[in-house]
Amino acid sequence: MALLDAKTRASVPMPEVILPAYGCPDLVAASVYAGVRPRLVDTAPGQWGYDLGALPAALSASTVAIVAVNLLGTGDQAPELCKIAATHGVALIQDSAQHLPQDFAAPWLGEYVVLSFGRGKPLNLLRGGALLHAPARTAAFASVKVRSMTGLKQSPAVRRLESLAFNIATDARVYGWSRKLMGGSVGRTQYKLLEALEEGSPDFRAEVESALAGYRHDAGYDAGIWSAACQGWAEDGIEPLVCASSHAAAGMLKLRLAMLARDRRTRDQIVAALDSRGLGATGMYGESMEKLAGVPVEVASQGPFPNADDLAGRLFTLPTHSGVTAQTVRLTQATLRQLRIGS
């Protein structure tokens, strides 16, 4: 929706959008649906965010938007990207699918802000999302073709069953067994074509409003339970992922704890060892964007992106939810000690 509007406003013959070279392939799918060519830009060395030195060279008269992605709540470089977007006369789209602040009065700098309420997101409604935009754009969005969202009017019993099924499926032990039974295909990041835009029903909108009201007052999970363990891993080359921004806020709510291993081999060993004990580690997307299975040729032909490739090989995440206890942390530490990490 944001890209369609940005394209209409720019009115250029062959519109392009700037995307990070590491991330969810849904970014590419949205671009393709909107008829905007994805232009990948490498990430910052050893950090999350764009390589701001390389970004300006990727902008052209065809650029209609820059997408600022807040990966796992680490930050999205919005202040820096807002200045670059303004200088070049393009829109800034803040992809905040993986971060939802409890203080809604926090300033949003983008002309568009994308939120997700899908499976595993900060506000987990198992589906749907929202687009925030200036009131002046409301009339323009009214002309965008959407279809009615289906299957959203469900009884409380069905909703409880749906939530229970999700919780069982994402339990670390069940997830690990599923990956073995399916030959590792479960959880694999693949490109999926976006086929249609669907408008939320009144029932779904009411559900979102109610859930947001509760989210504002939810104390959330204290990821500080991992702090001491993380400090012990630092001398073995494991460090938290941080945003390459001078404005990155400390203590942001995080979807999962994002860490960087020394290299791909170490990362893969860590994830395999922790998964074998049901401790819920993930390697996230696994590859830089142009290497993900199924992406269009125009994306696969871009690159190389050495920084994004390095990030894809080193990044792993640890769970931060109510089921993660001090015992979970101790088991994780013991597992890494067996790998001679944090010993």
Instruction: Please write the tens of the pLDDT for every residue from 166-182.
Output: 444 445 444 444 444 43
Tokens 């470089």 belong to residue: 77
Can you tell me whether residue 195 is helix, strand or coil?
coil
User: Which of 11-25, 104-118, 250-264, 327-341 ranks highest by mean pLDDT?
Assistant: 11-25
In this predicted structure, the answer to whether residue 185 has a pLDDT above a threshold of 50 is no
Q: What tokens does 310 get? A: 């390095």
% of the chain residues with pLDDT over 70: 84
- Per-residue pLDDT at 342: 54
Let me know if 92 is exposed, middle or buried by CB neighbors in 10 A (0-12, 13-18, 19+). buried
CA distance linking residue 101 with residue 148, whole number of Å: 28
How far, in Å, CA of 78 to CA of 309, rounded? 23
Radius of gyration of the chain (CA): 20
pTM: 0.88
Mean pLDDT of 248-277: 86
220 contacts: CB under 8 Å, gap ≥ 6: 102, 253
- pLDDT-based confidence at 146, cuts 50/70/90? confident
For 228-238, letters b (16+ CB in 10 Å) and e give: ebbebbeebeb
Three-state secondary structure call for residue 337: helix
The separation between the first and the last C-alpha atoms of the chain, rounded to the nearest angstrom, is: 50
Question: Which residues lie closer than 8 Å to 63 by C-beta, 6 or more apart?
Answer: 15, 16, 17, 18, 39, 88, 90
SS3 12: coil
Structural fold of domain 223-338: Aspartate Aminotransferase, domain 1 (3.90.1150)
Residue 4, Cβ neighbours under 10 Å: how many?
19
pLDDT band at 297 (very low <50, low <70, confident <90, very high): very high
Q: How far apart are CA 10 and CA 210, in angstroms?
A: 36
pLDDT, residue 7, reads 96
